[in-house]
Structure 1
Amino acid sequence: MPLTMHTLSVPAFTRGFSALSGLLDKAEAFASESGLPLSELFDARLAPDMLPLSGQVQRASDTSKNAIARLTTLEVPRFPDDERNFDDLRQRIGKTVAFFETVKPEDLEGSESREVTLSFPNFKMTFSGEDYLLKFVLPNFYFHVTTAYAILRHKGVPIGKSDFIVGLG
């Protein structure tokens, strides 16, 4: 089976969100067992200028679903960044994964050559769809999932590599 833009994106995003959901479950159990307020995990960050755990989940969601929007003509759901607790984060993950379940392989056919331009305050970047997915989206998505893992690990949640690499079997 040849690699396609669909096989490189949707399953990777879905698996990443499965791992992220598992991390949230373990974090919630840890907080309950240790008496740590969930807000200390929800608002935790690795550095003062980095997004907290909640922001990492939000950016993973936005990065992945907006990539599909830029690579297809599909209408992508928009979610306000108004999550206030772990249940809200789980709902956002669920809505994001539910969207991915609607994306068909044919929706991404030909998107490897589609031009994608991103505008930043001081510059623009233009990619082929393939380069956009492989060199920008996937690294960005995994950055946010990994940072969420690192925040929880830093706060003492007993998680390990196997919690991050779920679903590969």
Structure 2
Amino acid sequence: MGFNIYEASAPVFIHSLRNMSAWLDKASAEKAESDLIDARLAPDMRPLSSQFQMASDTAKNAIGRLCGIDAPAMPDTEASFAELKERCARTIAFIESVQPGAFENAETRAVELKFPNGMGYQFTGSAYLTGFALPNFFFHVTTAYAILRANGVTVGKPDFLQHLGMPKSL
């Protein structure tokens, strides 16, 4: 079996959401939560809490759209690190509950995104994953990382890639 939509989506989302959850542990050990939860990179950007919410939404909705199932609704009410960590955990649990077989024919599944203004996009599953879902997901993951880093949390590339573990001698 070759590389497929499941392998390109579910594990990628899970690894990054686990990494993000760990960043909050590091942040809470180093800084006051109240100084970070609403921090932004720029005045017109969404705060840290929203970056976690949007990463979660992108991951769970992508899995739902690719498999033709409903993703769980999660209102954006998280206002603490503990609540954001719980949201990451619920998103991971949903993704893990979807069996790889559910991704059969996901590459060609029609995916339609409709925005409130009536505009939107139509994709095949593979184009949706590679052209929209993954870039959007990593925009929010990277923005969350950058907010923490810009506010003095000592996250680095090993934190962004911590799912790989320590490098080994080759």
**TM-score normalized by the length of structure 2:** 0.92
Alignment of 1:14-163 (within 5 A): 14-31=14-31, 37-120=32-115, 121=117, 123-163=119-159
Paired positions, count = 164
Structure 1 gaps of 5+ residues are: 32-36
Distance 1:54 1:124 in 2: 26
| Matching residue of 2:168 | none
Distance 2:113 2:96 in 1: 26
Q: Match of 1:143, as an amino acid? A: F
Considering only aligned residues, what root-mean-square deviation do their CA atoms show, in Å?
1.2
- Displacement of 1:168 in angstroms is 2.4
- Displacement of 1:88 in angstroms is 0.4
Structure 2 gaps of 5+ residues are: 166-170
Q: Deviations over 1:73-93 (max 9, x none)?
A: 323211111111110001101
- Displacement of 1:96 in angstroms is 0.5
Distance 1:114 1:46 in 2: 36
- Displacement of 1:49 in angstroms is 1.1
SS at match of 1:167: helix
Q: Deviations over 1:37-76 (max 9, x none)?
A: 3111011000111110000000000001011121123232
**Comparing 72-81 and 8-17, the one that deviates more:** 72-81
Q: Deviations over 1:97-139 (max 9, x none)?
A: 1111101111111010011111232632111100100110001
| Matching residue of 1:34 | none
Distance 1:122 1:77 in 2: 23
* Identity over aligned pairs, percent: 50
